[in-house]
Amino acid sequence: GDPVPLDVQGAEILAPMVRASTLALRTACLGYGADLVFGEEIIDRKIIGAVRVPSAAFGTVDYVSPRERVAVFTTRPEEKRKLIFQLGTADPALAAEAALTVCGDVRGVDVNM
């Protein structure tokens, strides 16, 4: 579909922070009233090919690397309308593929080239 404008005027936003913008911090900030939260930067090649695995036990959605067998990105359904996925990339085609991988679970994608 068409992009939906994002009005950030006066919004309380958790800025992206390296190795800090994890699910735990994002959840805490949303609990304290943040309007938007950024995830930590994930490189395009790490998210491309990751398998989306919902976890009923934890109430999360994990994107698991089939090679490393670890979650490279974790979110919760209640974050969806307020979470910006931060994508590190140097290639427009890989960026598009990576964004399509997670677009169903996030509000937007912030591209860092």
Query: Where in the chain are the domains?
Result: 14-112
DSSP code per residue over 20-66: T--HHHHHHHHHTT-SEEEPPPEEHHHHTTPEEEEETTTTEEEEE-T
β-strands 36-38, 83-88 pairing: parallel
pLDDT over 80 (residue 51)? yes
pTM assigned to the model = 0.92
In eight-state DSSP terms, residue 80 is: T
Residue with tokens 């490189």, as numbered in its chain = 43
Percent of the chain at pLDDT exceeding 90: 89
